[in-house]
Homo-oligomer: A and B are copies of this chain.
Amino acid sequence: MGGRLDRIDLKILRLLQNNGRWTNAELAETAGVSAATCHRRTQRLFDEGYIAQVRAMVAPRKVGKGALVMVGVVLDRSTPESFAAFERAIAQLKFVLDCHLVAGDFDYFLKIRVGDMEDFNRIHGEQLIALPGVRQTRTFFVMKEVVDNAPLDF
């Protein structure tokens, strides 16, 4: 078996993406191979990094993080040091789910989860605009989560 994924591997990956709690026996039957083979395949998918991790997806509203906010950020200067400083600082902020350097009208796009708008307002004033090199931010409150964190299609 070379480095690529065959039909069976893809099936296992897709099944585990939709439900990481399948027993090996169930996986095996659905994928159409024996339990032993399925187990080896799955282990290989982990070992070779196809599955980065398995995560319990905690329901945000259940733990008081029901509000989602997208934030566009523009920095003062477009120097490597400026970018690096911003990125170092953002990594400390636990409420930041996504932070991406983008091409376009903004330098960075953030996806942030907080309890509510008031919560965000405080965070915005105390932490976001205080980040190193931030010239301006544009906030987009999410009014409805149509699709959030859909599984990867491959």
User: Footprint of B on A, CB under 8 Å?
Assistant: 5, 13, 16-21, 49-60, 62-65, 68, 70, 87, 90-91, 94-106, 108-109, 111, 113, 138-154
Contact = CB atoms under 8 A, between A and B. Distances in A.
Contact of A98 (B62, B104, B147): B147
Given A95-B153, A146-B90, A147-B91, A70 B20 contact: no
A51 B56 CA distance: 6
B96 A147 contact: yes
B101 A143 contact: yes
9 contacts: A16-B56, A19-B53, A20-B53, A53-B56, A54-B55, A65-B154, A101-B142, A101-B144, A104-B141
Contact of A52 (B59, B98, B101, B106): B59
A63 B50 contact: yes
A121 to B, nearest CB: 14
A105 to B, nearest CB: 8
